[in-house]
Chain A
Amino acid sequence: MIQYFLNRLVQTVPVILGVIIITFVLMYIVPGDPVVSMVGERYNEETVQRLRQEMHLDDPLSLQFLRYVGNVFQGNFGNSFITGEPVAKLVMDKFPNTMILAITAMFFAVLVGLTSGIISSIRPGSLLDRGIMVLTLAGISAPVFWVGLILVLVVGVILRWLPPTGFGGFEYLILPAVTLGLRSAAYLARLTRATMLDVLSQDYIRTARSKKLPEWKVVIKHAFPNTLIPVITIIGTDFGSYLSGAVLTESIFGWPGIGRLALEAILKRDFPVIQGTVLFMALMFVLMNVLVDMLYGFVDPRVRLERSRK
């Protein structure tokens, strides 16, 4: 198991290197000049030249790249052009906020998604099933910013049940988490329903039923665990993308997370922060995928067996 994990980790190195190269090249191809964001409206040309020199912006791209990679391998991600603070610190300050939001959103998605998926699958074609399916279709199709704004308007402004936006206690967490998790919830519901229907028609379910087991036991104990593989895949990849920041949700709700950090950095051409956040996001995503792969082993003995044979 550990061997497998280590192997997977080693495989991520080329991915990360690729990410560094692509972001680096893209940053320098895209027009715009970080110095412009730094100096404001009134400045001397000397100031601009001095800053360019200090930031090594006039060096050849290859040299800048090598310097950056060298620093990264020493754990130095550089300092923000705008605030002068270490990028690692900026990212680590924001990460807990992003993490809380991601976990809550995923919790909501799993709770609502799996429950409604299972309920739907018990009586396919019923009114309840059709209702849930329509809702999930809406959930998948509705754009995140629209859902966010409608929630702010309805729950925050008209009903005044929750603070519209902001950052703080649990009451601030609900709306952004629902906004962020809604699509996953809808998708999970549909996926769970489809897989459940498939599983429920299998022979061993018939066997279970013929043993006169109560229906809930058949569903929960015998059918449900077999839907977990596709469900975990979705949870894993979605969670990975939540962890790498949800720019729209964070902007609408004024949530200080990684997504906004990255967006601001892009707007200001704060190269070290762009590079740092993208790298971090990629790392999170890859890590989640590795974790998901490992989880397969836990939920499905066949996967475990295959690995031990290798």
Chain B
Amino acid sequence: MFRYIHLLILSLIFIGCTKELDYNTLTISYSADIRGFDPAFATDLRTGKVISLVYDNLVRFDAEMNLVPALAKSWSLSKTSTKYTFNIRQDVRFHDNTPLTINDIVKSFQRVLASSTASPQTWLLERISGARDYMQGARNHVQGLKIIDDSTLVVKLNEPFAPFIQYLAMPATAIINVNSVESLSTTPAGSGPWKLAKWERDGEIVLSSNIDYWEKPPEMEKMRIRILSEVMTQSAEFEAGSLDILEVPQGELEYWQNLNYKLLEVDELNIWYVGMNCSRPPFNDIRLRRAMNYAIDREKIIHILLNGSAIPAKGPVPPQLLAGLNGFGYEYNPTKALQLLQEAGYEKGLQVELYVAGGTGMFHVLEALQSNWATVGINIEIKRSDWNVFKTAVREGQPDLYYLDWFADYPDGENFLYPLFHSSESMVKRNRFSDPDVDIIIEKIQRQTETNTRDQLIIKANKMVADAAPWVFLWHSKTTYLTQKWIHGFRPTPIFNANRYVNIFKLAPE
């Protein structure tokens, strides 16, 4: 009996030792699987990231958040700011080797809009003239999409809309091979730097380098994205050397900082906040909302609980997007908070519920917020539920307070204003904030295509929103990545779909 145990152990050691590092495969992990490979249904970050690896868009974002040419070599905007003219590349082929033509581009856009596709992402292309008619079936072609010749595409909008060109870098506007859309949810039909080799649901996504890529193909032959739902598991795999890159979970930062790994930090475009329902008591009172903001000691929470990996938020728009956004905001001032509470008639304090969803990593943060508010007499009861219940409640306007975050779709202040504070959005799915002046300035930002004027408008709108305090603005978090010693050329990007893992490679450490 015992002899066999020894044999077993020996054989296990043997297995352990023979496994050598594969220098041709990059291995990373996601915490949950993607929805599929159909760009029209890419509504979450992970799916969007994978779509950006296997497909191309007309334009894309680089690591510095600039909009750069992709399938469109260049583009220009007409004087009226409603007509984009794209010069399309002629040397691009899909993974099945058929050439990518201007027709594919038009049909890809039309497919997203078509009612038969039932895509939730139609909002990206609805502003093209004739898009509405096409969606309702009144026409069989989107009038605003005009093919001039093999390499020239004109896209006409109903009215000037500055974010539109950035929409064209979003996953849902990726260009697909329109002749193979039948099984798009499981089989991508793109032209991107990576091809799909294997997809084992909830197991792994294996991609292989598209060596015929029109731009620089990836250095690595293969890339494995393993689906590991447990944070502990991900860390264990990284420590065992079978993951090359790890996104460090908030609670583990201190542990990893003390070990000998390469740490890379990136200021992601995001904001963490507590939404306050502005359309009913008690938070329809601006004094109370401001008091909520003054009561929080952001610096201390960031320093002690978040290991310094965040910057305090002074308004909704992250400061790295635009110079001149800083310089105001709510400092920690409990005296002022108390004073405002008194003015608002809450000398005796008040009791409210804070809705929270999911993850465990934030408990200590919530407790800190709770205690900050308690010192000025605002007693918060934390109400926890699963993500779906939480989102449904927020959508229906149930919570007085809710803790949530927002991650950018594209690097533009507008993305932190319109979807969050314009009344047409906030009133139906967020914290019921409505301010006609804010609406007007946000609409101006959307129409304005001249950069300087637009930047000034964003700065102004950011201040208006900060003053109105529809949220408790908390912080913009950084994300920390760990890489193994043998990983080179990895650079995390602030925008989710900018990293295409093309320049990354493995080299045996000396």
Complex CA gap A42/B48 in Å reads 14
Contact of B16 among A38, A41, A161, A166 (CB under 8 A): A161
Q: Let me know if B93 is at the binding interface, CB within 8 A.
A: no
Interface residues of A in 158-172 (CB under 8 A from B): 159-167, 171
Q: Does A3 interact with chain B (Cβ within 8 Å)? A: no
Docked-complex contact A39 and B120, CB < 8 angstroms: yes
A83 interface neighbour in B36, B118, B204, B239, Cβ under 8 Å? B36
Flag if A256 contacts B203 (CB, 8 Å).
yes
Contact with A along B24-65 (1 / 0, CB 8 A): 000000001101100001011000000000000000000000
**B90-124 interface (Cβ within 8 A of A):** 115, 118, 120-123
Chain A residues 237 to 279 lying within 8 A of chain B, measured CB to CB, are 251-257, 260-261, 264, 267-269
A contacts, CB < 8 Å to B: 30-34, 36-45, 47, 50-51, 54, 82-85, 90, 93-94, 97, 149, 152-153, 156-157, 159-167, 171, 251-257, 260-261, 264, 267-269
> Are B43 and A38 in contact, CB atoms less than 8 angstroms apart?
yes
- Is B472 close to A, CB under 8 A? no
Q: Complex: how many Å from CA A44 to CA B115?
A: 14
**A201–B395 alpha-carbon span in the complex (Å):** 69
Proximity bits, B2-19, A CB within 8 Å = 1, else 0: 000000010011011001
Compute how far the CA of A165 lies from the CA of B237 in the bound complex, rounded to whole angstroms.
Answer: 7
Expressed in whole angstroms, the Cα–Cα distance for A40 and B406 within the complex equals 12
Contact call A36/B236, Cβ cutoff below 8 A: no
> Which residues of chain A are near B367, meaning CB under 8 Å?
none
Interface centre among B12, B185, B203, B242 (most CB of A within 10 A): B203
Do A31 and B233 touch (CB < 8 A)? no
Number of A-B contacts (CB under 8 A): 139
B202 within 8 A of A: yes
A160 to B18, alpha carbons, bound, how many Å?
A: 11
Query: What would 6 A/B residue contacts be, using CB atoms closer than 8 Å?
Result: A41-B409, A161-B13, A163-B242, A164-B237, A164-B240, A261-B201
Q: Is B460 an interface residue (CB 8 A)?
A: no
Q: Is the CB of A166 within 8 A of B226?
A: yes
How far apart sit A50 and B204, CA to CA, in the bound complex (Å)? 33
- Is B452 an interface residue when CB atoms closer than 8 A count as contact? no
Point out the residues of chain A lying under 8 angstroms from B391, CB to CB: 33, 36-37
Please determine whether B232 and A268 come into contact, CB atoms closer than 8 angstroms.
Answer: no
Chain B residue nearest in CB terms to A42:
B419
Contact A42 B200 (CB under 8 A): no
Complex CA–CA separation, A275 to B236 (angstroms): 34
Q: Is the CB of B120 within 8 A of A166?
A: no
A33-B429 Cα distance, complex, nearest whole Å: 13
Q: Of A42, A85, A167, which one neighbours B185 at CB under 8 angstroms?
A: A85
From A31, A41, A97, A160, give the contact of B240 (CB < 8 A): A160
In chain B between 164 and 219, which residues have their CB closer than 8 angstroms to a CB of chain A?
185-186, 200-204
Instruction: Tell me, rounded to whole Å, the shortest Cβ–Cβ distance linking B312 to chain A.
Output: 24
